[in-house]
Homo-oligomer: A and B are copies of this chain.
Amino acid sequence: MFLKRFSSTSAWTLPQTIRQILSSGQQPPSKIHVHGWVKSVRRQKNVTFAVINDGSCVSGLQAVLTHNSNPTLHALTNGASVRMTGSIVASRGSGQAKELQVDSVEVLGECNPETYPIQKQALSVEYLRDHAHLRPRTDANASMLRLRSSLLRSLHDFFERHDFCYAHTPILTSSDCEGAGETFRVTPSSTPSPSHQSPAGSPPPDPHSEFFSHPAYLTVSSQLHLEALAASLARVYTLSPCFRAEPSQTNRHLAEFWMLEAEWAWTRGVDDVCGLVEACAKHALGAGGDERALLTKGIAGHEERLRSLEAAAGSESWARMTYTEAIAELEKYHASSDAKARPFVFEPKWGQGLQSEHEKWLSEVLIKGPVFVTDYPSSVKPFYMRMNDDERTVACFDLLVPYVGELVGGSLREERLDALKKRMSTHALDPEGEEYGWYVDLRRFGSAPHGGFGMGFERLVSWVSGIENVRECIAMPRWAKRMLL
């Protein structure tokens, strides 16, 4: 009989990771196998201490090796991949509760210390960016990756608890949403490799034909699609890659980034959407404690920064102010200064968008914490935001946080058919056209008042970790002129 039968799923199990071994309250079996990469080695006369880590936690596991039993000690170098067999015992040294008393070592993958690019000494940010495939092997990058994972789980957890449906919106889209200049265009590759040519006789594919019948772009935001889903499921969210073909080189922008977006039907107040965002962000602030401790330790002014995060997490409620109030404060501060030493490069002025310098001042200086700025002039915001009764401002908000600036943007969406059509006409958009006709339809049949928001995930990582540049907040960053791997 050719079918091999073997153990059932209930008996199926994975070996423990180092994190599980260290955090378990139970006594592990008398002899265990532990896999990891060597993080450091300290040789003494009769004994060698090595820290190995499998990437499951910050600390790693201290392994104690006696020399006679281990003929391969010379291959225990930084970065080597090993399998150690031994027993977990209470540590006699300080710094760890448990350690591994090693009986035998197998070096599965050697690592030549002469040529290994990841050395123990501090490596520059630029050097590590150039070695994108090895960067995850640094403690800081690995911690950032685990922090991302914790944050993701915390966000999914939050939305599940509040009965939101987790949806996937399309990455390829026919609308170029925020202006074609910033989007990427998608076409089939025009040069098939020889082994993939069409059958003999048929003409080669025309690279300029439209694969999807009409032009395709990479999404810049899932919002409009999410609104179509919210018109059936009421509460939906997504965590989706988004793309901007922005040539700008700032520490807050990537060409490919991840965005959490949520839409919520039957909300009628911007304050309610802010409440949702605040609860969600506070929930996320509880994630990944060990990793954050390691990451924030490395940065300048980390104590102040940690205090700021703790204050935000513990604050009973985050400050809210209208755009009009914010402009008044900015103007007052700008005017109070010496004309030669004006604090802002751009003069704050009602009717203009807020500049980064204004946003920073509002959250870092005026409020000293997160602040929701609401009700911006309709002229600086997109067509889909709900018009307020004053007919000058829209029911929207930005959440500004210290060190990062804009973390979240959101609004009520215009759910009134006539009001939406009016806004579209002032933006020269066709309410009956192919591009937005479907969006208008959502208001034509059973329209529900609704609102939503988008949170830049790498900015959230930056905020909670203290990592200043979003290029260090994602595994393999892409920005203008830069795409490794």
Partner-B contacts on A (CB < 8 A): 2-9, 12, 14-15, 17, 19-20, 35-38, 54-56, 79-81, 83, 108-112, 115-118, 132-134, 136-137, 141-142, 145-146, 148-149, 152-153, 156, 160, 162-163, 165-176, 179-193, 195-197, 211-214, 216-218, 224-225, 228-229, 231-235, 241, 243, 245, 247, 255-256, 258, 265-266, 271, 275-276, 278-279, 282, 316-317, 319-322, 325, 328-329, 367, 415, 438-439, 441-449, 474-476, 478, 480-485
Contacts and interface: CB of A to CB of B under 8 A. Distances in A.
Given A145-B165, A235-B56, A213 B447 contact: no
Given A183-B189, A255-B211, A321 B3 contact: yes
B181 A185 contact: no
A12 B169 contact: no
Given A165-B149, A181-B196, A170 B478 contact: yes
List the 4 closest pairs (A to B, CB-CB), nearest first: A181-B192, A109-B447, A181-B196, A55-B233
Contacts of A162: 14
Nearest to A110: B446
Contact of A325 (B2, B187, B265, B442): B2
Contacts of A8: 316-317
Contact of A35 (B266, B328, B439, B447): B266
Nearest to A112: B445
Contacts of A4: 320-321
B485 A228 contact: yes
Contacts of A14: 162-163, 276
A234 B54 contact: yes
Given A145-B232, A180-B193, 15 more contacts: A12-B279, A17-B234, A36-B234, A56-B233, A109-B447, A137-B231, A145-B165, A167-B475, A168-B241, A171-B243, A174-B483, A185-B186, A185-B187, A185-B189, A229-B475
B171 A171 contact: yes
Most chain B beta-carbon contacts within 10 A, residue among A115, A168, A325: A168
A480 B110 CA distance: 47
A339 to B, nearest CB: 26
Contacts of A255: 172, 211-212
Contacts of A415: 109
27 contacts: A2-B321, A3-B367, A9-B278, A14-B162, A35-B448, A36-B234, A37-B446, A80-B446, A81-B448, A109-B447, A133-B228, A133-B442, A136-B231, A145-B233, A146-B233, A153-B156, A168-B258, A171-B171, A171-B243, A174-B483, A179-B196, A182-B189, A184-B186, A211-B247, A211-B481, A212-B478, A214-B483
A190 B185 CA distance: 8
A188 B478 CA distance: 14
B448 A170 contact: no
A230 to B, nearest CB: 8
Contacts of A243: 171-172
Contacts of A184: 186-189, 211
A32 to B, nearest CB: 13
Contacts of A20: 163
A376 B397 CA distance: 56
A478 B108 contact: no
Nearest to A256: B172
Most chain B beta-carbon contacts within 10 A, residue among A213, A265, A483: A483
